[in-house]
């Protein structure tokens, strides 16, 4: 009886994994398939570099991911420090997390309207702003979780030893919460690279990889180089998730 129950649990887990990852398989298979002969090939990946519009979209995505990967953790760290310093944790946490519950289209259109009223034209700057707004609550949660495990008695000891607030943060707290900042940066990069709805509203004449795929899919459908591009995105995203898991384990062990 116990063996049957154990087998049933494993079958349920296998069904969940199939449900989660089966949609990712077709792009991976079609990416290495020659559309003319059906033979295995890597030419579809080489064709990515032959499309200048796609190369420009990739460049924009990498640049935006770098900006968001820096800006979101820094803003999240400032908000997390405010939670500890101002003594109003629930109020600050609610305010920072509130944008998560606003639908993406509504958030993107509202931000676009704000830019229009303030005379800011669509550009990489507006795209970086909406992506940072999207990534910030997640970065904030990650950093806040890591900071909750930091004992503030270490800061008190640093103050007693003559360190000012900046020195105590840089030399005592920052090394302790560094894995959280790295995790927040990694997660922000993932969110930036995969964001579509909010970015499409404020992109103007620019494209990211995701908005390029979406517009190309609607206009001409999917092509072999698109399958290759989607495969690369899936692989890179999974690798970044593995980095996050490794950072989490390192944080637990320390």
The CA distance from 104 to 195, in Å, is: 10
The CA distance from 43 to 231, in Å, is: 13
Closest-CA residue to 94 (of 143, 154, 141, 142) = 141
Start-to-end Cα distance in the chain: 41
Alpha carbon 224 to its chain's center: 26
The CA distance from 125 to 23, in Å, is: 33
Beta bridge partners of 56: none
pLDDT for 96 equals 86
Q: pLDDT tens track of the chain, all 254 residues?
A: 667 778 888 999 999 999 988 988 888 888 888 888 888 888 888 888 888 888 899 999 999 999 999 999 999 999 998 888 877 778 888 888 888 888 888 888 999 999 999 999 999 999 999 999 999 999 999 999 888 888 888 888 888 888 888 888 888 889 888 888 988 998 899 899 889 989 998 988 888 988 988 888 888 788 888 888 888 888 888 888 888 777 777 766 66
| 219 touches 230 (CB < 8 A) | no
pLDDT for 2 equals 67
Q: Encoding tokens for residue 64?
A: 């935006």
Answer whether 0.85 is exceeded by the pTM: no
The CA distance from 16 to 19, in Å, is: 5
The CA distance from 117 to 195, in Å, is: 24
**Alpha-carbon distances, residue 213 vs 106, 169, 173, 174 (angstroms):** 22, 43, 42, 39
């Amino acid at each position: 009886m116990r063996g049957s129950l154990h087998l049933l649990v494993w079958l349920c887990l296998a069904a969940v994994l199939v449900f989660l990852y089966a949609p990712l398989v077709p792009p991976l298979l079609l990416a290495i398939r020659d559309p003319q002969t059906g033979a295995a090939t890597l030419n579809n990946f080489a064709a990515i570099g032959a499309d200048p519009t796609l190369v420009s979209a990739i460049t924009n995505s990498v640049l935006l991911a770098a900006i968001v990967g820096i800006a979101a953790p820094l803003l999240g760290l400032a908000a997390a420090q405010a939670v500890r310093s101002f003594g109003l944790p629930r109020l600050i946490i609610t305010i920072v997390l509130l944008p998560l519950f606003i639908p993406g289209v509504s958030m993107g259109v509202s931000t676009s309207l704000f830019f229009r009223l303030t005379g800011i034209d669509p550009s990489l700057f507006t795209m970086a702003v909406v992506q940072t707004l999207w990534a910030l609550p997640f970065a904030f949660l990650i950093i806040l979780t890591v900071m909750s495990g930091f004992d503030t008695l270490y800061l008190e000891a640093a103050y007693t030893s003559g360190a000012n607030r900046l020195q105590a943060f840089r030399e005592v707290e920052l090394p302790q919460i560094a894995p959280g900042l790295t995790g927040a940066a990694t997660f922000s990069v993932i969110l930036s690279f995969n964001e579509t709805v909010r970015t499409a509203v404020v992109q103007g004449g620019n494209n990211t990889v995701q908005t390029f795929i979406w517009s190309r899919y609607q206009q001409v459908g999917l092509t072999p180089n698109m399958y290759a591009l989607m495969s690369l995105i899936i692989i890179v995203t999974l690798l970044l998730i593995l980095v996050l898991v490794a950072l989490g384990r390192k944080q637990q062990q320390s």
